[in-house]
Structures are given as C-alpha cells and as structure tokens.
Amino acid sequence: MSSYDIIIIGGGAAGMFAAAVLAEEASELDVLVLEKAAKPLGKVRISGGGRCNLTHACSDLREFLKSYPRGQRELIGPFHRFGPKETVEWFEAHGVPLVTLEDGCLFPQSDTSEDVIRALLSANPKIKTHSEVLRVTPSNNGFTIELKDGTLFHANKVLVATGGGEFIEGLGQPIEPCVPSLFTFNTPDKTLTSLSGIVVENVTLSAAGLKASGALLITHQGISGPAVLRLSSFGARKWAEANYQFEARINWLNNQNEEQVFEKLLAHREKSPQTKVTTWSPVGLPQRLWKMLTARAGIEEQKWVECSHKNLRRLAAQTCDYLLPVSGRNRHHEEFVTCGGISLKEIDFKTMESKRTPGLYFAGEVLDIDALTGGFNLQAAWTTGCLAARAMQQS
C-alpha cells in the first residue's frame, strides 16, 4: 500500500488550491491528490461561462460575508486570514492579472479560466486521476483510503474536497441535508409569463419573511435574474421543505411603498387627465408590464380622469405588492451550487480540521457553505483550501 503524508480527495477548486499551497510551502511533504475524473478542475474550467469569476471586490468584509447564506459566521475568521485580498495577490503573483467589472465580479484579464488552471497547476502537484474514493477509515495513526477499483493508500492526514458525494456519509461527521440553491422560480401566472423577455432593473422580491432586491427577468416559465437567485439562495431550505410551492410578492419599484406610488399616480391624474392609463407608466415601468398591472387593477380601458382613488390604490397595490404563486423551480444555467453538506458545527475554522476525527480536514463546497453568484463560491473554496493546507503542514 502506498503511503503519503497527506492525501487530498477531490481535484476541484478547494483541493487543487490546497495542493498548490502545500507544493509551494511544504515541498518536503509527500502529497497526493486523488481525482475521480479524467482531469482536475473540471468545474473551474466551465465556471463563469469559461471565464472564471474567481472572486468578488471587497471593501468591507462584513458586507462581503452577507453573500453567504450558509457559512456567514464561520467564514469571518478564515477571510481575515486568507480572504479576497489575499486571493487577488496569490493569482496575480502566479501570473494571472485580474480585472474587476462594474458589478464587482473579478475575472482573469485574459477572460479565460485556463489561466486560473495553469496557475493552480504551476507547482506541479502530484495528481492521480480516474481515482474515485469509496471509503476513508482511520488506521495506524492515520487513514486508509480505498478506491473504487480496490486500490488502497495510507495517509497521515486527509483533506476531503469532493464538493459533495455519497462517500462523505461514512466519515462520521454530521451532515446537513443537500438541497439546491441558486435557481429560478416557475409560476402558473400566465398573465405574467406572457410578458417573457421583460427585464425590470430593480425590484424587491419577498416570501416567507425573506427579501431580496435586484434585477428581475420575466421568462416563459416564471421569473429569473439576480433578485430571484438571491431569494432562492436565502431560503433554499424553506423552499425545499415547501416543495417549491409558495407565495412570493414582488414590489416592481424596489423600495417605494404603496402610499408613495399612490401619491405619484394622483399627481399624474392631475397632469394628464385625458390620457389612457395604459399609454405609458408614470412610475417608469416597461409599458407591457404596466398595461398588465392596470388590467389587474381593472382599469386598463380608462383614462386617468376616470380613475377613482380606490382605482389608484388598487393600481399602487399591484405595483408594490404583486402576489405571485410559485409552483416549482428551474436550474439556472450559469451557476448551480448545493446548500448542505458537512455540518459546520463539528469543524474547527482555524484549521478546517474535524473536531471529531483529528487528521481529517474539509474544504470547499463539501461543507455546508454556499453563496450567491458573483465569485463568492470560489472564494470560499480558495479560503478553506488554503487554511487546510497551512494547518496540515504543522506536525
């Protein structure tokens, strides 16, 4: 049986970052990465549409942490030790200059994830591909690792960075059930879906006491866009428990309230009494959406002068508190992460080591950590991979 100081299970973002740090900072250690696929870093390659949005601009870590519905508290310490700033420095020092887009997302200047992969592999970590791990069992002051084909390895320390997978169930760690995060909502509301293609720049979407703001796109099946992805993530467990059947509310004007909108409509009635209410939206909404809202308020045939206070209040209610039944979810094509995984309670976030099994470490999405879109998920993988690598170097 081959023996190693450290075996890393999973050659994804977290595992390969840990391998790179170990190869550079502790080259005297014998480290092996076991990867089940034919090549490491498969997800990094396709991330961000092949461009790899590897982190997000950060001027205030507290704000940055708000993008982690799971892991927000636990990542405070780790981000102080190796956060977005250190990530940018690391990649730039490894020949990957980065650019920050207007929305705060950071990409390689070259616009290709291949450069990120090249940097991660530059220290030549030892990788064994086509090697799916089935079992990890404590033995001889370390662990025995068994592959699907029966091959056995021994390692003094093991880092699990598989992103998920069934084999984590045998590790003796508590696990939070896995449910999807970052998805779009379906709706049976045909009046809304008939408007597919319309984008509203800044809405507030709420459900079950949770709120998210941002752009919203109406699709053939429901709603999509940043506000929807955020709400899907904030309430990932709630929506799963409800079997993705719940009521959401849309404020098409973000944080303007009904009273403010009512006042605007009244003022508009004074100004343009003879115009039809459907002609254009005095509150800046797309015309087709506005027409639908006036129809829901029962006044699409009227001129402004014909609208009573009650009519205008109904229209303000449709504008600020649109009731949307949600009847399922759809996978978001660009990014898909899982909520759930190894419970954070039994992990020491200074070292990423299990509190139950000394010598067993965890990093990346296999943990019950997940974030919004924008580079935050990869950041969690780099950070936890780095911390685990530094802790594993200590004897």
Instruction: For the CB of residue 10, give the shortest distance to ligand FAD in the complex, in Å.
Output: 3
Closer to ligand FAD by Cβ: residue 42 or 325: 42
DSSP reduced 3-state for 22: helix
Site for ligand FAD in 213-232 (CB under 6 A): none
**Residue 45 engages ligand FAD in binding (rule: CB under 6 A):** no
Each residue 115-144 as x (binds ligand FAD by CB under 6 A) or -, in order, gives -----------------xx-----------
Tokens 């990542």, located at residue: 75
* List 6, 7, 8, 13, residue binding ligand FAD (CB under 6 A): 13
Which residues 6+ apart lie within 8 Å of 151 measured at CB? 131
Contact call for residues 204 and 37 (beta carbons, < 8 A):
no
Contact call for residues 335 and 377 (beta carbons, < 8 A):
yes
Which residues 6+ apart lie within 8 Å of 112 measured at CB? 50, 51, 52
**Residue 165 engages ligand FAD in binding (rule: CB under 6 A):** yes
User: CA triplet 389, 107, 66: central angle to 5 degrees?
Assistant: 70
Which span sits near ligand FAD by CB under 6 A: 5-13, 170-178, 196-204, 353-361? 5-13
The alpha carbon torsion through 105, 111, 115, 117 (nearest 10 deg) reads 60
What would you measure as the largest C-alpha separation in the chain, in angstroms? 88
Each residue 313-332 as x (binds ligand FAD by CB under 6 A) or -, in order, gives --------------------
As given in the structure block, the two tokens for residue 85 are 């700033």
Instruction: For the CB of residue 251, give the shortest distance to ligand FAD in the complex, in Å.
Output: 29
Site for ligand FAD in 189-208 (CB under 6 A): none
Instruction: For the CB of residue 250, give the shortest distance to ligand FAD in the complex, in Å.
Output: 27
Catalog residues that contact ligand FAD under the rule CB under 6 A.
9-15, 34-37, 42-43, 46-48, 52-53, 132-133, 161-163, 165, 167, 334-337, 364-366, 375-378, 381
